[in-house]
C-alpha cells in the first residue's frame, strides 16, 4: 500500500498535458546536464581522496606520538575504523553517480527514437483512415455490382423476348454481365473482412479453402509468370474455426509479399517463372516461394511495423505486422523456420493454427 501511495504521488507530479516529445526533451536535458555534474563529482572525489590520505597520515603520526595517551590512541583508532567504511561507501556512490555522464548521448538517441515512432504513428493513422475508406467503398461497390447484375439479367431477358438480335448490343450486354460476375467474385473474397461480418466464425477446411484462394489468385499471377500451389502433408485434415475474412487477409498478405519479390526476380532474369507454395501439415501451414528469400537486413524485424526491404514507395511494411495480431487474436502464431534456401537466406514462414483447430 505504501509503495502504491508513493507511486501515485510521483505520477501526480508529472504534468499529464505533456506530450511524449516534451518528456523526451526533459530527459535529454537531464542527461545532458549529467555531464556537468560528473565533472563536479570527479573534482569532489579527488578532494575526498586527498583528505582521506592526509587524515590517515595524521592519525598514523598521532598513534605513534609519545605524548599521546593509550586512551586517546584507542579513541583515534576507533574513530578511524568507523570512518573507513563511510569513506568506502562515499567512493562507491560517487562512482555510480559518475556513470550518469556516460548517458549523455542517450538523450539524443531517445529523442531520435521518439521522433521515429511519431512518424510511424502518423503513417499508421493514414493506413487506418485508408482502411476505413476502403471498407465503406467495398460495401458500396458490392451493392452497385449486385444491382447491376440484376439489371443486366433483366435486359438480357427483354432482348430475347423482343427478338433483338443485334450482335453489338448482345455482345455489349454479355460483356457487362461477365464483368459484373468477375467483380462480384472479387468482392466475395473481400466481403468477409467487412465490419458487419468480421466476427462471424465458421468451420474452414484449410486445404479446400486454400484451393479456392489459389484459383482466385491464379489468373492474375499467370500473367506475370507465377504459379501458386497447395500441398497437403499427412492424412489428418486441418479444420479450423475462424472468420473467413481474417484468414483471407492473412493469406493475402503472404501472397502479395511473395508476388512482389518473385516479380523482381523475374524482371532481373534470376528466374524465368516463380512458384508460391502452401504446405498444409496439421496443425501448421507453411508458406514459401522459390525466390531469393528474406533479406538479411530485415530477417530479425520482419513482424515489426514499417519494416520493409522493398523499394521506397512500393510498400508500407505493414503486411506481416498485421498478420501477427490477427493470428494472436485467435490463439495462433506465426514465425520463420530456421531453414535456408540455396541463397543461404531464410525463406519459409510457418503459421501455427492450434489455437483455432475445431476439435
Angle in degrees, CA 211, 214, 219, rounded to 5: 140
The cell numbers describing 22, all together, are 516534451
Angle in degrees, CA 320, 323, 328, rounded to 5: 135
Determine how many CB atoms are found less than 10 A away from the CB of residue 257.
Answer: 22
Angle in degrees, CA 116, 117, 122, rounded to 5: 100
Are 275 and 217 in contact by the 8 Å Cβ rule? The answer is no
Note the pLDDT of residue 195: 46
Grid cell 518473385 is found at 262
SS3 86: helix
Distance between CA atoms of residues 116 and 165, nearest Å = 65
Distance between CA atoms of residues 2 and 241, nearest Å = 48
User: pLDDT tens digits, the chain, 359 residues: what are they?
Assistant: 454 455 455 444 444 445 555 666 666 666 666 666 666 666 766 776 677 677 667 666 666 666 666 776 676 667 667 666 766 776 676 666 555 555 556 656 666 676 766 666 666 655 555 555 565 566 567 667 777 878 888 887 887 788 777 778 878 877 777 777 777 666 665 555 554 445 578 899 999 999 988 888 888 899 899 999 999 987 788 999 988 878 888 898 899 889 999 999 999 999 999 999 999 999 999 999 999 999 888 888 888 877 777 776 666 667 788 888 888 888 899 999 999 999 999 999 999 999 998 76
DSSP 121-160: HHHHHHHHHHHHHHHHHHHHHHHHHHHHHHHHHHHHHHHH
The cell numbers describing 88, all together, are 568506502
Distance between CA atoms of residues 288 and 276, nearest Å = 6
Are 203 and 239 in contact by the 8 Å Cβ rule? The answer is yes
SS3 271: coil
DSSP 292: S
- Cα 92 to chain centroid, rounded: 42
Rounded to the nearest 10°, the torsion over CA 31, 32, 38, 39 is 180
Amino acid at each position: 500500500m505504501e509503495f502504491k501511495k508513493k507511486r501515485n504521488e510521483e505520477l501526480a507530479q508529472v504534468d499529464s498535458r505533456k506530450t511524449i516529445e516534451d518528456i523526451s526533451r526533459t530527459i535529454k536535458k537531464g542527461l545532458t546536464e549529467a555531464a556537468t555534474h560528473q565533472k563536479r563529482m570527479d573534482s569532489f572525489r579527488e578532494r575526498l581522496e586527498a583528505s582521506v590520505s592526509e587524515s590517515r597520515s595524521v592519525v598514523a603520526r598521532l598513534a605513534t606520538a609519545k605524548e599521546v595517551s593509550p586512551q586517546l590512541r584507542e579513541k583515534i583508532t576507533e574513530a578511524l575504523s568507523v570512518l573507513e567504511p563511510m569513506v568506502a561507501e562515499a567512493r562507491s556512490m560517487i562512482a555510480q553517480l559518475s556513470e550518469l555522464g556516460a548517458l549523455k548521448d542517450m538523450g539524443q538517441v531517445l529523442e531520435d527514437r521518439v521522433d521515429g515512432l511519431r512518424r510511424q504513428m502518423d503513417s499508421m493513422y493514414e493506413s487506418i483512415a485508408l482502411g476505413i475508406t476502403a471498407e465503406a467503398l467495398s460495401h458500396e461497390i458490392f451493392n452497385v455490382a449486385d444491382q447491376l447484375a440484376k439489371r443486366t439479367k433483366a435486359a438480357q431477358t427483354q432482348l430475347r423476348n423482343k427478338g433483338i438480335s443485334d450482335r453489338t448490343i448482345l455482345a455489349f450486354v454479355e460483356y457487362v454481365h461477365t464483368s459484373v460476375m468477375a467483380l462480384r467474385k472479387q468482392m466475395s473474397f473481400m466481403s468477409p473482412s467487412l465490419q458487419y461480418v468480421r466476427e462471424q466464425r465458421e468451420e474452414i477446411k484449410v486445404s479446400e479453402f486454400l484451393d479456392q484462394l489459389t484459383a482466385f489468385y491464379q489468373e492474375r499471377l499467370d500473367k506475370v509468370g507465377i504459379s501458386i500451389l497447395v500441398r497437403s502433408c499427412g492424412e489428418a485434415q486441418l479444420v479450423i474455426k475462424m472468420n473467413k475474412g481474417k484468414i483471407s487477409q492473412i493469406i493475402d498478405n503472404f501472397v502479395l509479399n511473395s508476388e512482389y519479390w518473385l516479380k523482381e526476380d523475374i524482371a532481373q532474369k534470376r528466374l524465368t517463372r516463380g512458384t508460391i507454395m502452401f504446405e498444409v501439415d496439421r496443425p501448421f501451414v507453411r508458406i514459401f516461394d522459390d525466390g531469393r528469400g528474406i533479406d538479411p537486413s530485415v530477417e530479425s524485424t520482419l513482424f515489426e511495423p514499417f519494416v520493409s526491404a522493398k523499394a521506397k514507395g512500393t510498400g508500407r511494411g505493414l503486411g506481416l505486422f498485421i498478420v501477427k495480431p490477427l493470428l494472436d487474436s485467435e490463439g495462433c502464431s506465426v514465425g520463420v523456420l530456421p531453414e535456408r534456401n540455396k541463397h543461404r537466406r531464410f525463406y519459409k514462414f510457418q503459421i501455427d493454427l492450434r489455437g483455432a483447430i475445431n476439435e
